[in-house]
Amino acid sequence: MTVPVIAFFNNKGGVGKTSLVYHVAWMLAEQGYRVVAADLDPQGNLSAAFLDDERLEALWPESRQPPTIFGAVRPIQTGVGDVADPLLERINEQLALLPGDMSLSQFEDDLSQVWPQCLDRKERAFRVISAFWRVMQRGANLHRADTVLVDLGPNLGAINRATLIASDCVVIPLGPDLFSLQGLRNLGPTLRNWRNGWTERLDRNPEPNLGLPSGSMKPLGYIVMQHSVRRDRPVKSYDRWIGRIPGTYRECVLDISAERAPPVADDEHCLALLKHYRSLMPMAQEARKPIFLLKAADGALGAHASAVQDAYADFKRLSLEVVRRAGVPSPRHPM
């Protein structure tokens, strides 16, 4: 039995994607889910959010097989074997990290080359293109995880194609700006092309015993991030961009008519409209914890303490909605 993989992706950077994965992973762990957070961005920002520099330095040694996602796919890249079991970094009892690695960018060319080779029924091509999925599934089984959350870099390259093929569902973080709308216009058709391309290739797999991802990439919805708020409403300068998101999402991602798209607040495809917790973020980074777990000892006093409570409620509502839409079963032993 495979574990649901949920990717958080937008090919436009700076929309808070890594922060979302970090906070949703922590919140699901808080709610009793067993979670693997997988860092598939070669920049390694998710790993840096979870781990301090000393630990990162130990994970990124000058060796040919580091204990990271790159180390797990390295044997198949070099032709000395299949993917290796990942070495998960345990954050707490419920939450584990599959660490990223800047060296992962070395895998990009291999993934580009094998994509057309799958059409020629080459077994190695299928093993390479499915390497991320098989590593994540192994990690999920090792951790007895309920779900895997994936952070990706902001591009439409071969690494992200292989990662999204490995994903059952996709959550799209957005900023209230023109660039995010343009990102949606690029992202939607690309996801459909990749999904259709993988479906065509699946029929040509020459090894029936090789487990492969379905490549469903089901869009779960979008999250509008980091908007300023005045009297519980986005400031006017962002209103026009927020107002265009529901229609653009329908047309470009869902490929349906946007003629009667509702406002964001009433849009069933909007998972959350999150405030920008600017004042809490520096505290959380210093304390190396999510903003909704900050305590008085971390400096969360007065208005900050109230903002922490708001953040907890916001991320709990968002996180539970994500797993509900993804069809992740409730944890056996909720906390």
Strands 89-90 and 95-98: antiparallel
Other beta carbons within 10 angstroms of residue 333's beta carbon come to: 7
Helix (H, G, I), strand (E, B) or coil at 31: coil
pLDDT at 333: 59
CA angle 289, 225, 192 (to 5 degrees): 110
| Burial (CB count <10 Å: 0-12, 13-18, 19+), residue 218 | middle
Q: Judge if pTM exceeds 0.85.
A: yes
pLDDT at 232: 52
The residues that bridge with 74 in the sheet, in sequence order, are none
Domains of the chain, CATH where assigned: 5-282 (3.40.50.300)
pLDDT at 275: 80
pLDDT at 223: 95
pLDDT at 277: 76
Helix (H) or strand (E) holding 90: strand 89-90
CA-CA-CA-CA dihedral for 231, 236, 241, 244, to nearest 10: 80
First to last CA, the chain: 24
pLDDT at 213: 97
Beta strands in 113-262 (DSSP E): 147-151, 169-174, 218-227, 229-230, 233-234
d(CA 216, CA 157): 18
Helix (H) or strand (E) holding 287: helix 281-287
Sheet holding 5-8, edge to edge: 89-90, 95-98, 35-39, 147-151, 5-8, 169-174, 218-227, 270-275
Beta carbons of 216 and 153 less than 8 angstroms apart = no
pLDDT at 45: 93
pLDDT at 122: 97
Residues of the chain with pLDDT under 50: none
